[in-house]
Amino acid sequence: MGGTISPTETSSTQTKRGIQQIISRALKNNVAVIHIEPMAQVVMVRYRRGGTLYQATTLPKTTALLLAKHFKHLAQLDINQTQAPQTGQYLQHLSRKTYVIQVSTLPVIDGEKITLKLSNPSPAVENLLDLGLWGDSLSMVQHALTQPTGLIIVAGQPQTESNRVQMALLHLLSQASLKIAYLSDGDAPTIAGVKTVRVHPNAGWGFSRYLTMLSNQEFDVIGLSTLIDRRTALTADKVAANGSLVIMAIPTSTAIRGLVYMQQATRQLSSVVQARAAIGQLFVRGLCDHCREAYPPTVEEQQSLQELLKIDNPQYIRRYGDLEKQARSNGIEAESDLNIIRNRVSKLWRAHPLGCKYCDNTGYGSRVGLFEVCIPDSPVMNAFSAKKSLSELQAIAIKSGMISLKIDSFIKALRGVIDFATLARVCEQYDRLMH
């Protein structure tokens, strides 16, 4: 997307017009963060979109001071303070939408670096399939949502992405005749039929106290934006046992770790007994739907797939083939063809080196979800009772039907949702987490 502004275009009006173009382009293209970085000769503007950082444009070095003053003024920061970091925010209106722009300044050797985080205070609520849940994992979650009581754990970091999953779950439940509340320590989308309550711990009203109050008011479903302490965990466990379905986000990495986290927080096995489902999720950068390219995997990639996923094992490759067919039937696809043919991986997908107009020439699209769902059935419960290790719990959960994050990432790599580099990184990180 690139481009430069001539050094002669340094007037205040022209610079502000350039700033507005940068912000508008970022908002229209779902950019999450804008970095404005003064260098020795220029000011570099970079976007982070879908987890990828790339250069948007450069500005003359003479604009650095004006840029800093402009965003400090909008965010009501101290314009004269240049030696210490500052943070603030302001509202930006575009196409009948209002966005929150968080401004952070950092003194560096060439001036002040400015970071702008862009967010829509009322983002659209997504459905589970669009987020990336499919097949047996989706069916498990849908069944768990029919239960009148218990815990549904959403494990993952950062919290904002766990909350996206929670919102999709609550939105689905809001279509039934249920009394639903959501406890949040930050901004949350407005969902018809869901009462959102802003938690104010400093005022003496923390999560635990609100949970008890909502239970006394006989809410059928209570969402909890984050689990922050043992007291809240114990209260959630009690509320789940006494007549409500509690959907909570837990700041850990996988479904099994979410169950372990809850058990350790409550110091009671009952918290695992109460769990109707534990959802592990990870959001990664996705390939652009319009310009991604298919290619036969290299020898090195085939070797990596053998090491990470045992694709040379006939039993495993048949299982992967069955899962790919299921994914295709659920709409997780780049095309109608299957990419496991005759017990081998025939093709993978990569970003187009030049991108296209739909992805701002980056080759990548929005962030996509990878998921795993563990249902604590009898084998899993027995393993918790026997105090099995994390890796043993994981193996038992997979044997009981859990499709791991690692396998989900492989199926989505086959279907053109993510590239091989992302797949390899997820597999390696996942193996480290489970040992």
Sequence spans of domains, the chain? 12-119, 128-280+373-402
Do the domains at 12-119 and 128-280+373-402 have one common CATH topology? no
- The closest of 289, 432, 279 to 370, measured between CA atoms, is 279
pLDDT in tens, 107-140: 999 899 999 998 765 556 788 998 999 999 999 9
146-160, 282-296, 327-341, 410-424: which range is least confident on average?
Answer: 327-341
Topology (CATH) of 12-119: Beta-Lactamase (3.30.450)
Instruction: Indicate whether 9 pLDDT > 60.
Output: no
Query: Over pLDDT 90: what percentage of the chain?
Result: 63
Confidence tier at 97 by pLDDT (50, 70, 90): confident
Query: What average pLDDT score do residues 413-431 get?
Result: 95
Pairing relation of β-strands 150-155 and 245-250?
A: parallel
426 pLDDT exceeds 90?
A: yes
pLDDT exceeds 70 at position 411 = yes
Residue 244 has a pLDDT of: 95
Average pLDDT, rounded, for the chain: 89
pLDDT at 163: 86
Q: Give CATH superfamily name and number for 128-280+373-402.
A: P-loop containing nucleotide triphosphate hydrolases (3.40.50.300)
Segment 199-220, tens digit of pLDDT: 877 767 888 999 999 999 999 9
Of residues 169 and 22, more confidence is placed in 169
Mean pLDDT, range 287-308, rounded to an integer? 94
Mean pLDDT across 345-352: 94
| pLDDT (0 to 100) of residue 187 | 67
pLDDT at position 425, please? Answer: 95
Rounded mean pLDDT of 87-108? 86
pTM of this structure: 0.79
CB 370 within 8 A of CB 284: yes
pLDDT of residue 248: 94
Closest Cα to residue 281, out of 377, 146, 419, 167? 167
pLDDT band at 229 (very low <50, low <70, confident <90, very high): confident
Please report the pLDDT score of residue 29 as a whole number.
78
Most confident of 130-134, 174-178, 227-231: 130-134
So what's the pLDDT on residue 7? 47
Identify the weakest region by mean pLDDT among 26-35, 71-80, 294-303: 26-35
**Tell me, what's the pLDDT at 359?**
86
What is the pLDDT averaged over residues 185-199? 82
- The encoded tokens of residue 390 equal 């994390």
Q: Pick the more confident residue, 353 or 202.
A: 353
Distance in angstroms (rounded) separating the CA atoms of residues 414 and 421: 13
78 close to 72: Cβ distance less than 8 angstroms: yes
**Which of 25-39, 269-283, 332-346 has maximum average pLDDT?**
269-283
Reported confidence tier of residue 55, pLDDT bands at 50, 70, 90: confident
